[in-house]
Each structure stands twice: as C-alpha cells, then as structure tokens.
A and B are shown apart, each in its own frame.
Chain A
Amino acid sequence: MGELLKSLEGLRKEVKEKIDKAFSSSQLEKIKSVYLGRKGVLASSFKDLSALPEEKRREAGRIANEIKSELHKLFSQKQEYLKISDRGGKEEIFDYTLPGKKNLSGRFHPLTQLSSQIVEIFYGMGFEVVYGPDVETNYYNFDALNFPQDHPARDMMDTFYIDEKRLLRTHTSPVQIRVFEKRKPPARILAPGRVYRNEAINARSYCVFYQVEGFYVDRDVTMADLKGVLLAFFQKLFGKDVRLRFRASFFPFTEPSAEVDISCVICGGKGCSVCKHRGWLEVVGAGMIDPEVFRAVGYDPEVYSGYAFGMGIDRMALLKYRIDDIRLFWENDLRFLRQF
C-alpha cells in the first residue's frame, strides 16, 4: 500500500505543477483530460485500489479522493483566472504572450571587467593607479630594470622594436622606473595596461595582452609582506579557499624572485586538465625589488626595500571564465561578448 500512496502523492505533485505552468485555457483543458478525465491517469489509479485488502483499501481510497477533489479545485480556479486573462478582462483578445519591448542592454568586455575588478581590489588595499606609455625606450623597459647587456635574460621576452632605442613595452614594469624618478618613497602603485610580445599567435598566446604590475617601496618592506598582499588579493578575487605557493625563480629586476601559483580554481587543487593535474596554476611573477633598480633611480637600497609583482589579466580571465582560446578576447564575436 505504501507504494501506491507514494505514487498517488507523486501524481498530485505532478499535476499541480502542470496546472501552475499552464498559461492558456486550451492547454489547461488538455491537462485536465489527461489526468482527471474518465480514462485519465487518476481514474486508472483508482482501479489499482481495488486490488488492496479491505481495511487498507478504505484508507487509501480516502486519501485518493482527497487528492482528486483538491486537483479539481485547482483546475477550476486556474480556469477562471485564465478566462479573465485571455480576454484581457474585456471582449478583445489581449495576447500577453507576445514578446515584450526590450530596452537595449550593453556588455563590458571580459578583459576590462576583470581588469577593473583587479584595480578595485588593489585600490581598496591602498594602491594608487598610475599609467605609462605603451611605446617605451630600451632604457625603461630593460636597462633600468637591470636586464644585463649580452645576457640570455634578454631572451625572456620577445620584443617588438620600432628602432634601436624604442620598442613596445613587454611588461608594465617600466612604470616602476617612471614613478621612482618622480617621487620619493613611500609609494604603493598599481600599473595596469597593455603589453606586447613578439610571439606567434595561438590558443594560448596573443601578441598583445593586459598586465597589472604592483609595487610597494618603503622602509622595512619584506618578502612576508609580499606574500601577505598577494594572498589577500587572490582571496578577494577567487574566494577564501584559495591557497598560494611561492617558488624560487628569476627576474632581472627582483631579487629574491618568485613565481606564484594559486591552487587550481577549477579543481581546488585535486588536479584536472586545466592545471595539467598539478593542482596549481602559475599566475604571478614577483619578488623583492633588486637594489640595482633602486640605484638606477637614486634610491638608497640600504634605507628602502620594496616588493613588486606582475600578472597577466588575459591568462587570469581564461581561468576565471574557463575559456580555452585566448584569441576569443581579441576577436570580439558578439556571441562571445554576450556571455559576460
């Protein structure tokens, strides 16, 4: 008997839902005939009752009748309501199901959306936003940032040159130098912008991308502060559960240098195809600003120390929105943009 009651209860729910969703009288009539008609689903359930033993049959019959009358009541209520609506309350038909008159709605590009989100987070942590030119000199892009002449470190970034002295910046780090030349510490700066790399265009890399560089110079800034600021940032961006991993690395303008990985935002660190089953995603290059950089701008490295970090926004957007082809950002297909 338990099973029969269960199926009656299921039927009740099912019919109730159908009644709710019906938006026209003709629809409602169809539902009524399928479920409550002479040969309807409910009628056949009543037949099953007869197979039950006497005392159970009585109990089940009572419940079944209750359901039947409840459903009938719901039908007539809805019928009444739809009648009014169909007629718009008057004689003329008012078809409210015709499409509405929409207002236009715009979209923001996913890269600028993420970029402004990042700017906002750092702004909230006391960073000032500063811009620099996209076309830079060799001096600001490399020399002042301690890239030695005739050293393979120069191969780390494939560069677009305009002539011997001028190039498209390969990172937003030149903004560091431009700021240091103009001010005295303390300085806590965020430099967002476009950067350029002379790399073949494919699903994983594009010749232009957005980068955010952040740096902080003051007395007694330590690597522990760098670890703190990045953890705070990523927890704000990806949630409290995100973990960070700092690995030793090399950049000419920082010493010590670090690559920073975040626990995979897709699998949480268990390993998946996005993180290549490592559980970690490489997202930031960072480190303590090299004393040579301070010397180049006339800061005393014995007095001041500082950290710097840089991250590619495009790459982060790939992760955040789970996009598998970076070129989509630059193609601007409306069907793509509409998703953000």
Chain B
Amino acid sequence: MKASYTWLKDFVDINSTPEEIASKLTLAGSEVETIDVMGSDLDRVVVGEIESAEKHSKSDKLSVCQVNVRDKTLQIVCGAPNVKEKAKVPVALIGSILPDSTKIEKANLKGIDSFGMICSESELGIGEDSQGIMILDGKFSVGENLSKALDLEDFVFNLDLTPNRPDCLSILGVARELSALLGAKLKKPKPKVREGETLASTQVKVKIEEPSFCPRYTCRIIRGVRIGSSPFWLRRRLQACGVRSINNIVDVTNYVMLELGHPLHAFDYDLFSQPEVVVRKAKQKEKFVTLDGVKRELDSDILLITDGKRSVAVAGIMGGLESEVKEKTKNILLESAYFNPGMIRRGRLKLGISSESSHRFERGVDPNNVDFACDRAAELINDLAGGEVLKGIVDNYPKKIRAQKIDLRTRRVNQILGTKLSTSEISKILKSLEFKIKKDKNLKVEVPTFRPDVTREIDLIEEVARIYGYDRIETRMQASGNLVTPMPEEEKLTMKVRGILGGLGLYEVVTNDLVDPKKMGQVFPEKRLVKIKNPLSEELSVLRTSLLLNLLSVLSHNKKRKEEQVRIFEIGKVFSERGKKLPVERNKIGIALSGNNEPIFWNKKSQIDFFYIKGLLESFFESLSVDSYILIPNSYPYFSKDRSYDIKVRSEKLGFLGEVNEKILDFLDIKDKVFFTEMDFDKLLPLFSEDKFYKALPKYPPVDRDIAVVLDDGILAGEVEKFIKETGGEILEKIILFDLYKGDQIPSGKKSLAYSLRYRSKQKTLTDEDVNKVHVKIIEVLKKELGADLRG
C-alpha cells in the first residue's frame, strides 16, 4: 500500500516531517519500508508562456517558439503537435536533468538554436501522457517553479501491512492511525451528491441470491456521463499510489478505493440486457471472460454479478470484459458492495488472480461504509464527467452487520502488558481509534465495523499497547526462576560428537534435507521416500533418506575447487515414509573422507585408506567411552564389494562403513577414493553416558612380552587377537600389533604378525613363571587352532 503525504493531510493535520510520520506508523504496526520523494527532481523546470510559434523552415514537424520565462525570453525548437501561442507550458531550462536522466543542453535543430525544452507529462515523470507537451490550464504565473505551481512535491510512504489490517489499505485508514498517534482530529470527507429527479430504484432492481456470500449490495445510476481523461490532480494522486490512469470513471472508482479503502466497480449500464442486478453463485464449469481478456472456468465457490441473464463480473475479484466502461459509455451503474472475505479468498485462489479489489475484500472491508463510498464516487463522477445522478441509492442489506461490543478489564490490560494504565487512559486511546466506549467503569467497547480484526478483549489490549507505544512498556529484567530445565541428552551428545569429530580434524557441514530423487535413487536407493507435493523444483522434491548423497555432493563441489583433502561430517536428519502418519525421522552422523590423510608435510604424503577411516572410528568410540565395536562385512550397493561393512556395538547395528564404489563416484564426477560412514545418532544415545565411575589405578608393575607368529595369509588378524585375548585371561592387559610382514623371509602364502603383550595382575607383582605359564599357553593355542608357527 502506498500513501501520499499530501493526501493524508486532507484528513488529518500533520505538523511532523515525513520521517517522523514514517517512524510513528512503523512503531504502531504499519511498517513504512521506504519513502519516495516526488517532484524534487524538477527544480529547474518552470512555467513558461509561448509568445510565438512559427514553423521551422526546414522541417514540417518542428516549431520555433519564443517562450517567456519571466526574466527572459527563450528560443526553443519543439516537435510537439499541440504547440500553440499564449499556452502556458512547463519549460526545462538549460542545465536541468529530467527524471529519465535526460540532461537539457543548448541544442541546434536543423540550423536553429534551441535553449531549453518544452516538456510532456511523461518527460517530467508526472503522468503517462506523451502525445504532446503539457498544457497548463488555469492560473499559473510565468517563471514560477513547476513543482510549486502544481504542488508536485510529495512524499509517498510504501507501507508493508500485515494481513489483519484491511482498514489501513486506505488513505483515510492511515490518517486515522495518525490521528490517534498524533492526537490530532480526523477530518472525514462528507460527500454531497447532487441528485436528479428520477428515482434510481425505478431503473434497477437488486436481487441477492446468496446473502451469506454477499451480505450487502448497493448501487447508483449515473446517466449521460462524458468519458474523458481525469484532471491532473487526480491522475497525480493515482500515480503517487501506483495506479494507472484509465479514464475519468474508472479513475474515480480507483481514487475512492484508495481514499476510503472500499473497492467499487462501474459498469456500462447500457450493456445490461435488463434493468436488474442478480448476485448468484457461479455454476460448475461456467465460463466467463474477465477484464484482462482471459476466459475463465468457474465453480460454485465463486460469486457472479449478473443482469439476470448474462454475467457482468466476478464479484469482488474482477469485472467482465464486455461490461467495461469504454469511450462511448454514457450510462453507468456504480456498484458498491460487501462480499464475504473467505469466499473472495477461495475464489481468487481458484482463479489464480489477485486484484486491488480482491486484496481488500479478502481482508475484510467495512460493510457499513458501502453507501458512503458509493456516494463519494457518485459525487466525484458527477464533478468530473457530468451527467445526472439518479435519486437515491439502491441498497440491498438484508441483515445488518452490527458493531461488536466487548468487555475490557483495566486489570487485564495491565496484567498482560505489565503497565499501570488507568481506565481513563485506556478509554482515551480506544476513542482516538473511533472505538465507542459505553460504560466508563468496566469498559464496554463498541468496535467499529472497519476493524474486523478486533473481536476479543485481547485484541483491544493490543490496540491499547500499539497506541500507547511498545517503547513505553517497561523492560523488566529478572533473575531466572527455579524451574528444572535439564539439557536434553541429544543436545549434550550432539555437542560431544561435534567436539570429537572437530578435534579429529573434520569440517562440519550443513546440507539441505531436500534432494533430487533421481540422484538419491542412483546413490542411495530407498523406496520409502517422503515426496513434496509442491516442490521448488524437481531437484529439491524429496527428503533425504541418508546423508550419503549430500556429503558426496559437498565433496564433489570442493574437489572441483582444487581442495585435495576433504574431510567432512554432518549431524542431520533423514526421513522415511510410513503411510499417513508422520514419517520416521532419525538423526544420523555422516562422515566422508577423501584425499590426503594428513596435512601436507614436506617429507611425506599419503592418501586416506580404509584403515584411516577405521582408525578414525576407533578414536571416535574411544572418546565417547564406547568400548567394544566390531565391523561385520555386509553388501551395500553404494560401497565397493570388498570394502563394505556394518558397524555393530553390543550386537546392535549402529551404522555402516565402506569405500564408495566407482559407479557412484563416476556419477558424481569424483576422481579420488572416498570413504564414508553413517551412524545412527539415536542408537548412539543410550551408549553415551555422563555417569562415569573411577577404577583404581594398577598398583603392581607390568611385564611386557613379544610374540611373532607365521600363519596362513587367509587368517584374519581379528581371529588371532581373539584367541590371544581368550587365552590370556585376566592378567593380559593389552595387545598391540606392531608388525605385519609378508615377503622373502617367510614362505609364500604366509604372513607374520608380531604382537606386544602386556601382562599385569591386580593382586601381586607377576613373576616370570606366572607370565610364562600364560604366554606359552597362548602360543600353543595359536599353533593348535590356527596352525601358527613361532617366528625368530
């Protein structure tokens, strides 16, 4: 909504600057986004009088004019067809810059010097007329600054209004806010309609078939109007508010809509097939051509204005092409009605059109302002287009919508706002907004019908707060109370996991849950996709079922930007559909690694491999005090067949880990090896505990023994360790593999594993004998179970 400063001044006395006004409106809820300054750019344009105009000797189209601008007479060559002697015109002097940034300089047109320019409205940026120069009718003194002479200087407030305030979609409504905020009186227009003798009610009958959709319909008939262009002042105001000028009749309906907030419609009454207005629901699949020339299909949620035979408008949304006011129109039916807001909203959503009119009806106009707006428009049409306004307004209003009365407790106001307002202060504020106060002790407030948003006591409290000023409400700082507000375990674990992974040198990333179903299908096939019905694009139309695609995409993005080492993680949700219920949402930890495994160091460079990500996982679990985890081979379509595992902790599957296979890497255009793991955050939660209990430190010294065995290459180290552990029993404290050897020194098909074992007892210092007993046993078991030979 745009509101002109000078127009507002018609309705309320303002002594404040536009900036002050903007700030007051903004604080009270009508946010002024910007202020446009109008007319200030025309400081070197003055009123001139054409003393003589002669044809240019070398051109039929050009005239050579002598123009008096008071202190001198300028010779100006002008190409406009409507140049005439004695006409007063706007003259842009040399040095002026027009709104389209044309700079006026001394010129020579076909051999004749020209010292300035006579301008059209469009050249001055004050109208759309570009046919000829602007002729200034009326009393203008030669030499006067044009902005001053035409009262062009204005400020336009661009208001960003909230949907609950239809009343502010008008100059009068904004003026009302200002009158309350400034404590100035509101001066409402008082239309005086000069009526003819003929009764309008004899010329038209109004029938409302759907009073719940159209509670009130009024109209007036104006006969014998002259269609023409509107006077400058009116066009100027429409322009200021961003509305195009069409002709004097349509302009008046728009003008009154802007002024009073009530949309009106003017029909060419001669195009009615009979003297009747019938308001009815559209039939299913009924067709209608709207003003914009589009043939639309309607349904029973849409209301039509008809003449009983043919439809003439979609009620409250858009007029029809046929009944539009045109140049030859003589007789007019002026409609002013009140339509049900919900019905208008459903209708315009179905039709997919939105107009200034539907915008206001949808938010709720004042049903008791209908006749007033009709009169105001009739008055203006009569002023501008002549004709005869028939006597009386035809008003069909079967059931009057009455003002609501609400009880307001002073105590309640202060209880919600934390203020100490008195009853009389409250009542004064509400009166300033044209609310009527019935009883002054416990207030009974009558809400004007232009405020459909106020229906409850709490709404009145907001009105009081708005006008009183939010800035005057105390800012109460209090020490926190003694509520028990535990930090949830999820939050704690999230912080912990982020800390650990960050400490291990990973970058945290944050990616979109909305992904491309095609890519998701390629990378992480999953049937139970949650699909968005109205996505932004096909590429963002499903919720992810794994973090794999997202992390690979980030990886690919960075690899393409020459990042050698990409080590990233995300903690985020994945979704899977389960029918009509809400989808399952699981929190996951995803990790993707690729490139160098360490910061580049001058004497060494190595790539991330399987053992690197496995080690990272081991460190991760160690930091979380999760003691035992195992990898179990499993086949996942996104991993290489021989590098694809489940992660299990305490026999629960926590996630999976592996090397992303080449098909997927090719698909995402990634050249390097990528290792990926995804773990279920929610399953990790029960494993994580802040309850930790101290275990006594060992009192006795350890004994270290090494053992090196040669065995078949096919035997897994894990098996060897398992036997060592089982046999070692209580006194075996730690096993470290310190060498793995395959090569010339041992038979082919064999490998050598060298372990360092640490023995320690809780009860005593171990003797050689104690240790030997166990150590020898371990060797025997390895020989027997795995066919191991002792080496060296």
Residues of A at under 8 Å CB distance from B?
Answer: 98-99, 101-109, 111-112, 116, 119, 123, 125-131, 133-137, 149-153, 155-156, 160-163, 165-166, 168, 186-188, 194, 196, 198, 200-201, 207-208, 218, 220, 222-225, 227-228, 231-232, 244-250, 255-259, 288, 290-291, 305, 329-335, 337-338
Interface residues of B in 470-513 (CB under 8 A from A): 470-471, 473-478, 480-481, 483, 485-488, 490-491, 495, 498, 501-513
Cβ contact within 8 Å between B415 and A305 = yes
A residues less than 8 Å from B535 (CB atoms): 160
The answer to whether residues A112 and B498 also contact, given A207-B536, A334-B558 and a CB cut-off of 8 A, is yes
User: Can you give 8 A-B contacts (C-beta < 8 A)?
Assistant: A106-B505, A112-B498, A123-B485, A129-B491, A137-B582, A151-B341, A155-B163, A291-B456
Cβ contact within 8 Å between B495 and A116 = yes
Q: Is B446 an interface residue, CB under 8 A from the partner?
A: no
Cβ contact within 8 Å between A247 and B29 = yes
Cβ contact within 8 Å between B162 and A250 = yes
Closest to B506 in A: A106
Interface residues of B in 439-494 (CB under 8 A from A): 456, 458-459, 461-462, 465-466, 470-471, 473-478, 480-481, 483, 485-488, 490-491
B residues less than 8 Å from A162 (CB atoms): 530-533
B residues less than 8 Å from A163 (CB atoms): 533
Cβ contact within 8 Å between B416 and A288 = yes
Q: In the bound complex, how far is the Cα of B466 from the Cα of A129, in angstroms?
A: 32
A16 to chain B, nearest CB (A): 33
Q: Is B622 an interface residue, CB under 8 A from the partner?
A: no
Cβ contact within 8 Å between B29 and A99 = no
Cβ contact within 8 Å between B342 and A149 = yes
Q: Lowest 7 A-B CB distances belong to which pairs?
A: A104-B505, A224-B418, A222-B418, A248-B29, A126-B480, A128-B485, A250-B162
The answer to whether residues A153 and B530 also contact, given A98-B602, A108-B502, A200-B536 and a CB cut-off of 8 A, is no
A residues less than 8 Å from B504 (CB atoms): 104, 106
B-side interface size class: 35 or more
A residues less than 8 Å from B583 (CB atoms): 135
A293 to chain B, nearest CB (A): 11
Q: Is B281 an interface residue, CB under 8 A from the partner?
A: no
Q: In the bound complex, how far is the Cα of B487 from the Cα of A101, in angstroms?
A: 39
Cβ contact within 8 Å between A256 and B465 = yes
Cβ contact within 8 Å between A152 and B512 = no
Contact with A along B31-45 (1 / 0, CB 8 A): 100000000000000
B residues less than 8 Å from A116 (CB atoms): 495
Q: In the bound complex, how far is the Cα of B498 from the Cα of A152, in angstroms?
A: 42
Closest to A225 in B: B476
Closest to A150 in B: B342
B residues less than 8 Å from A98 (CB atoms): 602
Contact with A along B547-563 (1 / 0, CB 8 A): 00000001001100101
A residues less than 8 Å from B507 (CB atoms): 106-107, 109, 332, 334, 337-338
A residues less than 8 Å from B573 (CB atoms): 134, 194
Closest to A251 in B: B162
Cβ contact within 8 Å between B488 and A248 = no
B402 to chain A, nearest CB (A): 21
A residues less than 8 Å from B425 (CB atoms): none
Q: In the bound complex, how far is the Cα of B502 from the Cα of A116, in angstroms?
A: 15
Given A129-B488, A225-B476, A330-B512: 7 more A-B contacts, CB < 8 Å: A99-B601, A106-B506, A107-B502, A108-B498, A168-B532, A291-B458, A331-B557
Q: In the bound complex, how far is the Cα of B596 from the Cα of A102, in angstroms?
A: 13
* Interchain CB contact (< 8 A) of B475 among A119, A224, A258, A334: A224
* Interchain CB contact (< 8 A) of B163 among A123, A130, A134, A151: A151
A residues less than 8 Å from B362 (CB atoms): 152
The answer to whether residues A131 and B495 also contact, given A104-B505, A334-B563 and a CB cut-off of 8 A, is no
Cβ contact within 8 Å between B29 and A332 = no
Cβ contact within 8 Å between B582 and A152 = no
Cβ contact within 8 Å between A131 and B462 = no
Q: In the bound complex, how far is the Cα of B462 from the Cα of A160, in angstroms?
A: 32
Cβ contact within 8 Å between B582 and A166 = yes
Residues of B at under 8 Å CB distance from A?
Answer: 26-29, 31, 162-165, 341-342, 345-346, 362-363, 415-419, 456, 458-459, 461-462, 465-466, 470-471, 473-478, 480-481, 483, 485-488, 490-491, 495, 498, 501-514, 530-536, 540, 543, 554, 557-558, 561, 563, 566-568, 573, 575, 580, 582-583, 585, 598-599, 601-602
Q: In the bound complex, how far is the Cα of B536 from the Cα of A200, in angstroms?
A: 7
B residues less than 8 Å from A155 (CB atoms): 163
A residues less than 8 Å from B473 (CB atoms): 223-224, 227, 246
A residues less than 8 Å from B495 (CB atoms): 116
B residues less than 8 Å from A305 (CB atoms): 415-416
A residues less than 8 Å from B471 (CB atoms): 245-246
Cβ contact within 8 Å between B475 and A222 = no
B residues less than 8 Å from A329 (CB atoms): 510
Cβ contact within 8 Å between A255 and B485 = no
A79 to chain B, nearest CB (A): 28
Could you tell me the dominant secondary structure of chain A's interface residues? mixed
Cβ contact within 8 Å between B474 and A227 = yes
The answer to whether residues A256 and B466 also contact, given A103-B505, A112-B498, A168-B532 and a CB cut-off of 8 A, is yes
Cβ contact within 8 Å between A128 and B486 = yes
Closest to B163 in A: A152
Q: In the bound complex, how far is the Cα of B29 from the Cα of A201, in angstroms?
A: 28
Cβ contact within 8 Å between B503 and A106 = yes
Q: In the bound complex, how far is the Cα of B476 from the Cα of A166, in angstroms?
A: 40
Closest to A119 in B: B491
The answer to whether residues A250 and B498 also contact, given A112-B508, A207-B540, A255-B462 and a CB cut-off of 8 A, is no
Cβ contact within 8 Å between B363 and A152 = yes
Closest to B555 in A: A332
Cβ contact within 8 Å between B575 and A250 = no
Cβ contact within 8 Å between A332 and B466 = no
Cβ contact within 8 Å between B345 and A223 = no
A residues less than 8 Å from B475 (CB atoms): 224, 227-228, 231, 244
B residues less than 8 Å from A249 (CB atoms): 29, 31, 162
The answer to whether residues A123 and B487 also contact, given A106-B502, A108-B498 and a CB cut-off of 8 A, is yes
* Interchain CB contact (< 8 A) of A333 among B461, B508, B557: B557
Q: In the bound complex, how far is the Cα of B163 from the Cα of A151, in angstroms?
A: 8
Closest to A260 in B: B470
* Interchain CB contact (< 8 A) of A135 among B459, B490, B530, B580: B530
A residues less than 8 Å from B501 (CB atoms): 106
B residues less than 8 Å from A256 (CB atoms): 416-417, 458, 461-462, 465-466, 470
B residues less than 8 Å from A161 (CB atoms): 532-534
A residues less than 8 Å from B466 (CB atoms): 248, 256
Cβ contact within 8 Å between A108 and B508 = yes
Cβ contact within 8 Å between A223 and B418 = yes
A residues less than 8 Å from B580 (CB atoms): 165
B residues less than 8 Å from A208 (CB atoms): 512-514
Cβ contact within 8 Å between A332 and B163 = no
Q: In the bound complex, how far is the Cα of B593 from the Cα of A104, in angstroms?
A: 13
Cβ contact within 8 Å between A228 and B558 = no
Closest to A124 in B: B480
Q: In the bound complex, how far is the Cα of B502 from the Cα of A317, in angstroms?
A: 20
Closest to A331 in B: B557
The answer to whether residues A222 and B476 also contact, given A152-B163, A250-B163, A291-B456 and a CB cut-off of 8 A, is yes
Q: In the bound complex, how far is the Cα of B505 from the Cα of A150, in angstroms?
A: 52
Q: In the bound complex, how far is the Cα of B483 from the Cα of A128, in angstroms?
A: 9
Cβ contact within 8 Å between A255 and B458 = yes
B residues less than 8 Å from A129 (CB atoms): 487-488, 491
Residue among A136, A149, A201, A332 with the highest chain B CB neighbour number at 10 A: A332
Q: In the bound complex, how far is the Cα of B32 from the Cα of A65, in angstroms?
A: 72
Q: In the bound complex, how far is the Cα of B628 from the Cα of A45, in angstroms?
A: 76
Q: In the bound complex, how far is the Cα of B9 from the Cα of A227, in angstroms?
A: 35
Cβ contact within 8 Å between A131 and B490 = yes
B376 to chain A, nearest CB (A): 26
Cβ contact within 8 Å between A188 and B483 = yes
B606 to chain A, nearest CB (A): 13
B residues less than 8 Å from A166 (CB atoms): 582
Cβ contact within 8 Å between B483 and A186 = yes
Closest to A219 in B: B415
